[in-house]
Amino acid sequence: MARTRTLIPWLLAAVVALIAYGSLYPFNFKPDAIEGGVLRALVELSWARAGRGDRIANVLLYLPLGFCLFLWLNARLRRHMSVLVATALGALLSLGIEVAQVYVSVRVPSLADLTLNSLGSALGAAGGLLWLLVTKLLHLPSREDQPARDPGAALVIAAWAAFRLAPFVPQFDLGKLKAALRPLFEPQFDPPAVFIYLTCWLIVDQALASLVRRSRRLEALLLLIAGVLAGRLVLANQTFVADELLALVLLVPMLVLMHRFTARVSHGVLMTALAAVLLIEGLAPFDFVATATRFDFWPFMVWFESGPIGALQAVDWRGVFGHLFLFMSLLWLLGESGVRINAAIAITTSAALGIEILQMWLPNQSGSIADPLLTLAAGLLFRYLGRRAGRDARYGNTISPPARSR
């Protein structure tokens, strides 16, 4: 697992920092809380039981620690030994945190928490072992081919990250951390939502292939997943989504399957799945009515009525970036399949307009020119960046330099 050596230590450090923050906040240490030093603090640990939600949170918080520890240790130890050492190190960190909590007035140190944290570390290490075994089936080549550095792929990934992290307002407190984990205490899964998240992450993985070396592809994907999930932990009004986490569990086996396909087949599968996502997102539950509603030709009037500051606050940025990601993905996949950029822009803008028109026959909805205009603007940006990057009118193909005369 040599290709993860540059990434895992950074992820590991971030996970340890997150655990320390979540466990010791608000950091109001009182050195004179007890007498007798660390040994006395150990005696203070009890088997006090927290609520069900806190118990689940204790396990979930140490899962990524065990995962990262295993991947880091696997480059140095045998697999089974890596699992055992990762579990032991997770338990040791938990013990240190519990002892430190003795000196934090608002925290309740507990041996039950230590047990649950150790269990989380063990489960995370087992997950790392499973990740290692499954990803070996991908057979990524070891040669360091120069990636295409596709600007369209970068736009797709940027739109996805913006969609998952909007509205970008940080909130640093323990209550936010617990709130982000709360949807996982009693998860309820919606199959269409799981399908949507799985499709989106497969597209993101495909876009990463155009930006990073093949041997670094899984490393980059893991980093992006960790960045999105960690980002949602510290942003206001954002929580973990059970449907997305289930989709991430299904992602690796789906990657194994997708890597068995040719480029043409994989692009076709992704475009078919993306078309289904666009229909679900735009028209579900498909209960059309007989009478059409209005079509809004002036969707950006809020910019003039409320002023720039009011408009920025009124805009649903999550919805904007979500729609942009879907239509940018369609535009990029069409280009990767060999469709010329002008034709791809026309197809994608027409699809956005068609969905908006059909929404006029959905109850309590109306059509708008906003998405088609945003899609057209994204297409023009794709074409501009593609030409700047030295790509021809068929967006996915790089212009080859003229052959030198001998």
Query: Residue 36: its pLDDT value, please?
Result: 60
Q: Identify whether 347 is part of a domain.
A: yes
User: Could you say which of 138, 166, 185 is where a domain stops?
Assistant: 138
Please check the confidence at residue 213 and state whether its pLDDT lies above 90.
no
Q: Which pLDDT band holds residue 156 (cuts at 50, 70, 90)?
A: very high
The whole-angstrom separation of Cα 373 and Cα 226 is: 33
**pLDDT score recorded for residue 226:** 87
pLDDT at residue number 11? 82
| Distance set, CA 48 to CA 96, 110, 161, 388 (Å) | 17, 6, 40, 63
Q: By the 8 A CB rule, do 382 and 336 touch?
A: no
Does some domain include residue 403? Answer: no
Residues 85 and 153 in one domain: no
Residues 254 and 347 in one domain: yes
Residue 404 has a pLDDT of 31
Residue 122 has pLDDT above 80, yes or no: yes
> Any residues with CB less than 8 A from the CB of 401 and at least 6 apart, and which?
none
Judge whether 34 lies within some domain: yes
In this structure, of 55-59, 73-77, 106-110, 121-125, the range with the lowest mean pLDDT score is: 106-110
Number of domains in the chain: 2
The DSSP call for residue 391 is: B
Report yes or no on 286 lying in a domain.
yes
Average pLDDT over all residues of the chain: 82
Please give the pLDDT value at position 312.
65
How many CB atoms are located within 10 Å of the residue 273 CB? 17
The reply to whether 232 and 333 lie within a common domain is: yes
Mention every residue, 6+ apart, whose C-beta is less than 8 A from residue 48.
108, 110, 112
One domain, residues 151 and 124:
no
Q: Is the pLDDT of residue 43 over 80?
A: no
Residue from 401, 400, 382 nearest 150 by CA:
382
261 and 385 co-located in one domain: yes
| pLDDT(104) > 80 | no
Using DSSP's 3-state secondary structure scheme, residue 368 falls into strand
| pLDDT at residue 193, as a whole number | 95
| Average pLDDT for 226-233 | 86
Out of 82, 110, 138, pick the residue that ends a domain: 138
| DSSP 3-state of 284 | coil
Q: Are 225 and 95 within one domain?
A: no
User: Helices then strands (H, E): number in the chain?
Assistant: 16, 2
Q: Are residues 179 and 324 in the same domain?
A: yes
- φ and ψ at residue 162, rounded to 5 degrees: -65, -40
Instruction: List % helix, strand, coil for the chain (3-state, nearest 5).
Output: 70, 5, 30
* Domain that residue 95 falls in: 1-138
Handedness of CA 116, 120, 122, 123 (dihedral sign): positive
Residue 134 and residue 202 in one domain: no
Flag whether 404 is in a domain: no
Q: Are 104 and 172 contained in the same domain? A: no
Co-location of 260 and 132 in the same domain: no
Q: Once rounded to an integer, what is the mean pLDDT over residues 360-386? A: 91
Same domain, 29 and 89: yes
**For 320, how many CA atoms within 13 A lie in the half-sphere containing its CB?**
15
Q: Estimate the crossing angle of helix 79-101 against helix 8-24, to 10 degrees.
A: 30
pLDDT digits (tens, 9 = 90+) for 294-343: 888 877 666 666 666 666 666 778 888 999 999 999 999 999 988 999 99
- Do 94 and 123 lie in one domain? The reply is yes
- On whether residue 301 sits in a domain, the answer given is yes
Q: How confident is the model at residue 394 (pLDDT cuts 50, 70, 90)?
A: very low
Q: pLDDT of 2-37, one tens digit each?
A: 444 467 788 888 888 888 887 777 777 776 656 666
Q: Specify if 322 maps to a domain.
A: yes
Residue 68, pLDDT above cutoff 60: yes
Boundary-marking domain end, from 138, 171, 188? 138
- Is 222 a domain residue? yes
